[in-house]
Amino acid sequence: MIEITGTQQKFMTVEDITIRLFDRYVLARAMVKTPPSLILGDFREGFDRTNRGMVLRLLDDIGTATGKHLLYVTHREDDIPRCVRHRLAFEAASGDHYRVRCSAV
């Protein structure tokens, strides 16, 4: 992996990168293989505000510009990328049961 900051380049191994960089690395690796769909689970968990925004913009670009389908699993309402058009929500019902709600966003 290559990290580029300004005019400097630093070669890194997977073991050297942070969790934030690792998540971006995994996403980049997945995109190289040009899959028709991406399944992401709580992908932005652990990012600071700046990196959360950057990853959200990247996911929006992927969802709108590439024609890829995103299946994005999250526990946070504010983590849903703008490109998402349909939502499937599991809501607690009675006891150990859940109700499934499907809606257009």
Read off the CATH number of the domain in which 82 is found.
3.40.50.300
For the chain, what is the domain count?
Answer: 1
- Residue 3 in tokens: 């990290």
Residue 22's closest CA among 41, 43, 7? 43
For 30, the token pair is: 């997945």
Q: Between residues 11 and 3, which one has the greater pLDDT?
A: 11
- Secondary structure letter of residue 43 according to DSSP: T
Q: What is the pLDDT of residue 2?
A: 47
| Composition of the chain by helix, strand, coil, percent to 5 | 35, 30, 35
Q: What percent of the chain has pLDDT over 90?
A: 10
pTM listed for this prediction: 0.66
- Domain assignment of residue 54, given as a range: 2-104
Among 103, 71, 64, 69, which Cα is nearest to 87's? 103
